[in-house]
Amino acid sequence: MTAGAWRLLRHFDGEPGLQMARDEALLEHGGSSAVLRLYTWRPDALSLGYFQRFRDVPAAAGATSVVRRWTGGGAIHHADELTFAIAAPLEHALYAGPVVDSYRRVHALVIEALALVGVTARLRGDVAPLASDRAGSGMCFHASTPEDIVWDAAKGVGSAQRRRGGRVLHHGSIKLDTTALEGPIATAKVDVARLETALLTVFGRRFRLVADELTPRERRHAADRAAFFRSDAFVHRR
Amino acid sequence: MRPDDRKYTKSHEWVLLDGDTAKVGITDFAVDELCSGNEGDLVYCDLPEVGRILEAGATFGEIESVKAVSDLNTPVGGEIVDVNPVIAEHLEILAKDPWKGGWMIKLKVTDASPLDELLDAAAYEAHITADQH
């Protein structure tokens, strides 16, 4: 692992479009920095994966608000969860090489953090289907791959990546509790602050985390772009 | 050894020039990084319309594997004159035949100058070997 400092950002209870725009700013304007950003959503929102068709996600019609992500994968209802975003250069030790290897490295850290709050999680591997697997919903937590993090025989962390301009944006949703739109999935059932502390402990063992804020340029970018992520043009692009 | 009739980018695109037309695709290494040998993990590829004008380095499309969406960038500038119609329904062609059948776009080249800066097959080989260590 590289010994370079990581920027640590926290944006709790953020408006959904603004949260997506902050991640875009870190993907596009983050330079050579590695960033760990932790956040929660207010109001709750359903995010569509970049390539998903709106009509293929029935839950989207019933969501409080809907945004579309730059990252791929399925839809997520962001309510009782801690979201992490990592933005880093592709050559960073976490992300160099095959995409699947980068998931294994990042998920090993998340599994370690979950252990600190008493959740014994593992990679799904070849043990499938999970109790959370369900066809036809378009929801991230209802589909699983060998690299997904599971406990209680169900998926508890959803994650996806976008790779652009030599950088990667990696989204992860760690579920604290489920919602009506998600149904039965694995949930950590801990306070968000405890999970945050655990993640910072684990990442802090590997990397030097430095508390930071968005730069003025990143902040301007996020403010200018927040409306785009909840716009009909983007949400209904497919 | 990769084909030596074309040039390569460090971000794993290739470009094959024929007169003033260039074909652009992505390398076997790029495909393998996305799907680790499981071509079924490639789920979507969005390619542009014919007629679009692109500057060298511009994003012309996007490819999604099960776990990542990646931008596709053109190494040379020009007007898109053809888009491979096979890819939409047969993404596996990118893994099975990345050098011929897996071309993505054809450009009428207006700016070939970036070609001089691109890697030949030997230099690309050295680049990805260094990447893996």
List the one residue out of B121, B102, B107 whose CA is nearest residue B42: B102
Q: What is the DSSP string of A33-83?
A: -EEEEEEEESS-EEEE-TT--GGG-GGGGG-S-EEE-SS-S-BEEESSEEE
Alpha helices in B26-107 (DSSP H): 28-35, 93-96
Reported as a single tens digit per residue, the pLDDT across A106-146 is: 999 999 999 999 999 999 999 889 999 999 999 999 999 99
Q: Which residue of B has its CA nearest to A170?
A: B68
Whether A56 contacts chain B with CB within 8 A: no
> What's the burial of A106, exposed, middle or buried (CB within 10 Å: 0-12/13-18/19+)?
buried
- Enclosing H/E stretch for B65: strand B59-65
pLDDT at B41: 84
Whether B69 contacts chain A with CB within 8 A: yes
Reported as a single tens digit per residue, the pLDDT across B83-108 is: 999 999 999 999 999 999 999 999 99
Active site residues of A: 140
Question: Which residues of chain A make contact with B66, given a CB cutoff of 8 A?
Answer: 72-73, 145
pLDDT of A8 strictly over 60:
yes
Nearest by CB to A72, which of B32, B35, B68? Answer: B68
The residue-averaged pLDDT of A19-25 equals: 98
Nearest by CB to A98, which of B33, B59, B66? Answer: B33
Residue B89 corresponds to which tokens in the numbers above? Answer: 């329904």
Query: Residue A136, by phi and psi: left (phi above 0), alpha (psi -120 to 50) or beta?
Result: left
* Interface touch B36/A100, C-beta < 8 Å: yes
Q: Over chain A, what is the mean pLDDT?
A: 96
How large is the greatest C-alpha to C-alpha distance in chain B, in angstroms? 41
List the one residue out of A11, A31, A6 whose CA is nearest residue A21: A11
**Residue B91 CB contacts under 8 Å (≥ 6 apart), including other chains:** B39, B42, B43, B44, B45
Whether A165 contacts chain B with CB within 8 A: yes
List the one residue out of A195, A201, A173 whose CA is nearest residue A86: A173
**Residue B27 CB contacts under 8 Å (≥ 6 apart), including other chains:** B2, B8, B12, B13, B14, B98, B124
In this structure, how many other beta carbons lie within 10 angstroms of the beta carbon of residue A118? 11
Q: Which of B66, B128, B132, B133 to mutate to test the interface with A (most CBs of A within 10 A)?
A: B66
pTM of the model: 0.92
pLDDT at A1: 36
Confidence of residue A2 (pLDDT cuts 50, 70, 90): very low
Comparing B43 with A198, which gets the higher pLDDT?
Answer: A198
| Whole-angstrom distance, CA of residue B87 vs CA of residue B93 | 7
* Interface touch B68/A97, C-beta < 8 Å: no
Torsion sign, CA atoms A218, A220, A224, A227: positive
Residue B22: phi, psi to the nearest 5?
A: -125, 135
Q: Which residue of A has its CA nearest to B12?
A: A166
- In the Cβ-directed half-sphere of B40, how many Cα atoms lie within 13 Å? 1
pLDDT at A159: 96
pLDDT at A174: 98
pLDDT at B35: 86
| Whole-angstrom distance, CA of residue B43 vs CA of residue A51 | 9
Comparing A3 with A70, which gets the higher pLDDT?
Answer: A70
The residue-averaged pLDDT of A193-217 equals: 97
In percent, how much of chain A has pLDDT > 90? 95
B33 vs chain A: nearest CA distance in angstroms? 4
Reported as a single tens digit per residue, the pLDDT across A81-111 is: 999 999 999 999 999 989 999 999 999 999 9
In percent, how much of chain B has pLDDT > 90? 78
Q: ipTM value of the model?
A: 0.86
| Whole-angstrom distance, CA of residue A223 vs CA of residue A22 | 8
Q: Which residues of chain B carry a pLDDT beneath 50?
A: none
- Stretch 29-48 of chain B: residues touching chain A, C-beta under 8 Å: 32-36, 43-44, 46
pLDDT of A171 strictly over 60:
yes
Nearest by CB to B68, which of A96, A161, A166? Answer: A161
Cα torsion A87, A93, A96, A98 to 10°: value is: -100
Q: Which residue of A has its CA nearest to B36?
A: A98
List the one residue out of A71, A65, A77 whose CA is nearest residue A232: A65
Cα A118 off chain centre by: 21
3-state SS class at A2: coil
Whether A104 contacts chain B with CB within 8 A: no
B132 vs chain A: nearest CA distance in angstroms? 7
* Interface touch B67/A164, C-beta < 8 Å: no
